[in-house]
Every structure is written in structure tokens, then in C-alpha cells.
């Protein structure tokens, strides 16, 4: 079985980005990300509405890191500590050497290749640092931008699940992409 350990916290770096731990100073950016119906459009989770909600969300991220159950990074641009997005490995299944990757970005930064650059680095960490065998991404079938990012990074569409999630009174489809450590 895979031994996962996020201590010390692994900061990651790309040409343009610095990926660091999310902390309470990011509370306003977390609110901006998770209270915006546009950024949350394809994420079937309740909107963050208050500072308390956002702090709770940050505390939940911290707990997952402490327990080695999941890891989130704040996406920042080099030379500017402001959080512009979040990316991470969720639902880690150590017994299957598999994790799920997820990400979101403030709308004013989209279309600049930032998520793709972050995905590349987080995938590399997943395979080299965490010793994962496979990484999956679960997206809304209408989320074309996310599908493009995944395909650009070598992910392959594996499944289209029909009405497998119930959220706010509706059944939603999911599409699963995956990447094997070759």
C-alpha cells in the first residue's frame, strides 16, 4: 500500500507559477472563487457565502493535508503571493495508487494556460512525489474548457456516467478522465 506524507508541505514551481499551501490570509480569494456561480458552475458543491464558510473550507483543506488524505495548493503567479486559483489531489486511494485531480481559477485569469501549467506540475508530483499509478479527473460533461486542459495533458476520457450525482434537486452526469503513470 502507498504511504502518503505531505509533511513538510511540498511547494511546487513552474515557469510562471508558485504553488503553495492555502492559508487563512487567502480567505477573500477563497470566497471569490467559491461564492461565484460562474467558477462553481461545474462543481456540484454549495457556494461559500461568508467568511466563516471560507475559513471552514480552509480548515477542511488543512485537516486533509495533516491526515495525508488530500492536498491542495494555492495557485499564485511568481512574485505575487495572491491566490488566483486552487489545485489539488483529492479522494486519494492509497490501496489503488490513485488520486483525483481537481482545480479552479478566478475567471479573470482563465484562457492564459495557467491551469494547464499547474496541472502538468501537480501530475508530475502525483507520479514522482506520491508514487501514484493513475490520476483521474471527474468533470461535468459540459465543461469543455476542463476537458481541453485534461486532453492537452494526456488524460483520456474513460467513462460517461449518467445521472450519477444528485445535487440541488437534479441528477447530474459525470465524465471521468484518467492518466496512467507510464
Ramachandran area for residue 42 (φ above 0: left; ψ -120 to 50: alpha; else beta): alpha
Mean pLDDT for 100-106 is: 97
Neighbours of 135 (CB within 10 A): 25
Q: 25-34, pLDDT tens digit by residue?
A: 999 999 999 9
pLDDT averaged over every residue in the chain: 96
pLDDT value for 85: 97
Residue 18 has pLDDT above 90, yes or no: yes
The answer to whether the Cα torsion of 113, 117, 123, 127 is positive or negative is positive
Neighbours of 13 (CB within 10 A): 11
- Residue 110: which of 135, 74, 146 has the closest Cα? 146
C-alpha–C-alpha distance, residues 157 and 137, integer Å: 9
Q: 120-161, pLDDT tens digit by residue?
A: 999 999 999 999 999 999 999 999 999 999 999 999 999 999
In the chain, what are the domain boundaries? 12-180
Mean pLDDT for 2-27 is: 96
Residue 39 has pLDDT above 90, yes or no: no
pLDDT value for 65: 97
Residue 1 has pLDDT above 90, yes or no: no
Residue 182 has pLDDT above 90, yes or no: no
pLDDT value for 149: 97
- 12-180: which CATH architecture? 3-Layer(aba) Sandwich (3.40)
The model's pTM: 0.95
Amino acid at each position: 500500500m502507498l504511504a502518503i506524507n505531505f509533511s513538510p508541505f511540498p511547494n511546487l514551481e513552474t515557469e510562471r507559477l508558485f504553488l503553495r499551501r492555502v492559508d487563512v490570509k487567502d480567505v477573500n480569494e477563497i470566497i471569490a472563487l467559491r461564492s461565484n456561480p460562474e467558477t462553481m458552475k461545474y462543481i456540484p458543491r454549495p457556494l461559500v457565502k461568508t467568511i466563516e464558510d471560507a475559513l471552514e473550507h480552509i480548515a477542511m483543506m488543512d485537516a486533509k493535508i495533516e491526515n495525508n488524505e488530500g492536498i491542495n495548493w494555492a495557485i499564485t503567479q511568481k512574485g505575487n503571493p495572491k491566490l488566483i486559483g486552487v489545485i489539488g489531489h483529492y479522494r486519494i486511494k492509497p490501496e489503488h495508487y490513485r488520486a483525483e485531480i481537481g482545480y479552479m481559477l478566478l475567471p479573470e485569469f482563465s484562457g492564459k494556460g495557467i491551469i494547464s501549467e499547474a496541472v502538468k506540475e501537480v501530475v508530475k508530483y502525483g507520479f514522482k512525489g506520491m508514487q501514484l499509478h493513475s490520476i483521474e479527473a471527474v468533470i461535468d460533461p459540459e465543461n469543455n474548457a476542463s476537458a481541453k486542459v485534461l486532453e492537452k495533458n494526456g488524460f483520456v476520457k474513460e467513462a460517461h456516467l449518467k445521472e450519477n450525482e444528485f445535487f440541488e434537486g437534479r441528477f447530474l452526469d459525470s465524465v471521468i478522465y484518467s492518466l496512467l503513470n507510464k
